Chains A and B, each alone.
Chain A
Amino acid sequence: MSTPTLTPVPADKAESAAPHRVSSGLLDPKLLLTSLPDAVKKLDPRVMVKNPVMFVVEVGSVVTTVSAMANPSVFAWSITVWLWLTTIFANLAEAVAEGRGKAQADTLRKTKTESVARRLTNWPATQDEEEVPGTALKLGDHVVVEAGQVIPGDGDVVEGVASVDESAITGESAPVIRESGGDRSAVTGGTKVLSDRIVVKIASEPGKSFIDRMIALVEGAARQKTPNEIALNILLASLTIVFLVAVVTLQPMATFAGAPQSMIVLVALIVALIPTTIGALLSAIGIAGMDRLVQRNVLAMSGRAVEAAGDVNTLLLDKTGTITLGNRQAAEFLPAPGVSTDELASAAQLSSLADETPEGRSIVVLAKTEYGLRARAQGELTHATWVPFTAQTRMSGVDLDEAEGVHQVRKGAAGAVSNWVSENGGSVGGEVAALVDGISAAGGTPLVVAAKVGAEPARVLGVIHLKDVVKEGMRERFDELRRMGIKTIMITGDNPLTAKAIAEEAGVDDFLAEATPEDKMALIKKEQEGGKLVAMTGDGTNDAPALAQADVGVAMNTGTMAAKEAGNMVDLDSNPTKLIEIVEIGKQLLITRGALTTFSISNDVAKYFAIIPAMFAGVYPGLKHLNIMGLHSPQSAITSAIIFNALVIVGLIPLALRGVRYRPADASSLLTRNIGIYGIGGLIVPFVGIKLIDLVVQFIPGLS
Chain B
Amino acid sequence: MGSTLAGWLQAIALVGALALCYRPLGDYIAKLLTSAKHLRVERGIYKVIGVDGDADQRWPVYLRSVLAFSAVSVLFLYALIRLQTFLLLNLGVPQMEGHQAWNTAISFVTNTNWQSYSGESAMGHLVQMMGLAVQNFVSAAVGIAVVAALIRGFTRNRTDRVGNFWVDLTRISLRLLLPLSIIFALVLAATGVVQNFHGFTEVTSLTNEVQKIPGGPVASQEVIKLLGTNGGGFYNANSAHPFENPTGFSNLIEIFLLLVIAFALPRTFGRMVGDNRQGYAIVAVMGLFWIASAALLTFAESQHHGTALQAAGAAMEGKEQRFGIAASGLFAASTTLTSTGAVNSFHDSFTPFGGGLTIFNMMLGEIAPGGTGSGLYGMLVLAIVAVFVAGLMVGRTPEYLGKKLGGREMKFASLYILTTPTIVLVGTGVAMALPGERAGMLNSGAHGFSEVLYAFTSAANNNGSAFGGITVNTDWYDTALGLAMVFGRFLPIVFVMALAGSLAQQQPVPATPGTLPTHKPLFVGLLSGVILIVVGLTYFPALALGPIAEGLS
Contact = CB atoms under 8 A, between A and B. Distances in A.
Interface of A: 227-228, 230-232, 234-235, 237-239, 241-243, 245-257, 269, 307, 310-311, 313, 482-487, 530-533, 586-588, 590-591, 593-595, 597-598, 601-602, 604-605, 608, 612, 615-616, 620-626, 662, 666-668, 670-672, 674-675, 678-679
Given A242-B538, A254-B545, 13 more contacts: A231-B388, A241-B418, A242-B422, A245-B422, A249-B542, A253-B429, A313-B510, A591-B395, A598-B390, A601-B389, A667-B396, A671-B516, A671-B522
A532 B402 CA distance: 11
B540 interface: yes
B426 A255 contact: no
Contacts of A666: 513-514
A411 B494 CA distance: 79
A501 B438 CA distance: 82
B292 interface: no
Contact of B395 (A590, A605, A620, A675): A590
B294 to A, nearest CB: 24
Contacts of A253: 428-429, 432, 449, 541-542, 545
Given A531-B507, A597-B389, A588 B418 contact: no
B551 to A, nearest CB: 7
A310 B421 CA distance: 35
Contacts of B538: 242-243, 246
18 contacts: A235-B414, A238-B414, A246-B421, A246-B539, A249-B425, A256-B432, A257-B449, A257-B549, A310-B395, A531-B509, A602-B533, A608-B537, A608-B540, A616-B545, A620-B553, A623-B544, A671-B526, A674-B393
A239 B534 contact: yes
Interface string B511-553: 0111111001010001001000110011111101100111111
Contacts of B449: 253, 256-257
Contact of A255 (B428, B432, B549): B432
A440 to B, nearest CB: 37
Instruction: Determine which residue in B407, B421, B430, B516 has the highest number of CB atoms from chain A within 10 A of its CB, and name it.
Output: B407
Contacts of A232: 388, 392, 410
A265 to B, nearest CB: 11
B393 A252 contact: no
B362 to A, nearest CB: 16
A147 B348 CA distance: 92
B537 A594 contact: no
B549 A616 contact: yes
Nearest to B434: A252
A247 B402 CA distance: 37
B407 A231 contact: yes
B409 A231 contact: yes
Nearest to A482: B513
Contact of A228 (B392, B393, B513, B550): B392
Contacts of B395: 310, 484, 586-588, 590-591, 662, 667, 670
Nearest to B526: A675
A95 to B, nearest CB: 24
Given A231-B407, A616-B544, A667-B517, A311 B533 contact: no
A322 B534 CA distance: 46
A498 B534 CA distance: 56
Contacts of A674: 393-394
A668 B396 contact: no
B10 interface: no
Interface residues of B, number: 67
Nearest to A236: B414
Contacts of A484: 395, 513-514
A531 B393 contact: no
Contacts of A228: 392, 397-398, 406
B31 to A, nearest CB: 28
A307 B396 CA distance: 8
Please report whether the interface of chain B is mostly helix, strand, loop or mixed according to DSSP.
Answer: helix
A605 B540 CA distance: 10
A503 B429 CA distance: 68
Nearest to A256: B432
Contacts of B406: 227-228, 230-231
B512 A245 contact: no
B292 to A, nearest CB: 17
A487 B522 CA distance: 26
A678 B392 CA distance: 12
Given A238-B415, A626-B552, A598 B514 contact: no
A670 to B, nearest CB: 5
A257 B446 contact: yes
Contacts of A231: 388, 405-407, 409-410
Instruction: Determine which residue in A235, A530, A595, A622 has the highest number of CB atoms from chain B within 10 A of its CB, and name it.
Output: A235
A235 B391 CA distance: 14
Contacts of B520: 668
Contact of A234 (B407, B425, B428, B433): B407
Contact of B414 (A237, A256, A482, A616): A237
Contact of B548 (A248, A623, A678): A623
A594 B389 contact: yes
Interface in B417-466: 417-418, 421-422, 425-426, 428-430, 432-433, 438, 445-446, 449
Nearest to A251: B429
Of all A-B residue pairs in the complex, the 3 with the closest CB atoms, nearest first, are A594-B392, A485-B514, A485-B512
Contacts of A256: 432, 438, 449
B435 to A, nearest CB: 10
A667 B394 contact: yes
B514 A248 contact: no
Contacts of A530: 510
A487 to B, nearest CB: 8
A612 B541 contact: yes
A242 B417 contact: yes
A438 to B, nearest CB: 37
B386 to A, nearest CB: 10
Contacts of A678: 393
Contacts of B541: 246-247, 250, 253, 269, 608, 612, 615
B508 interface: yes
A82 to B, nearest CB: 21
Nearest to B421: A242
Nearest to B516: A667
Contact of A249 (B392, B397, B411, B429): B429
B147 interface: no
Contacts of A313: 509-510, 512, 514
Contacts of B410: 231-232, 234-235
A250 B396 CA distance: 38
A621 B553 CA distance: 7
A591 B392 contact: yes
Contact of B430 (A242, A250, A252, A662): A252
Given A608-B537, A620-B446, A668 B517 contact: yes
B416 to A, nearest CB: 9
Contacts of B430: 252
Contacts of A597: 389, 392
Interface string B481-509: 00000000000000000000000000111
Contact of B540 (A235, A249, A601, A612): A612
Nearest to A584: B395
B219 interface: no
B284 interface: no
B265 interface: no
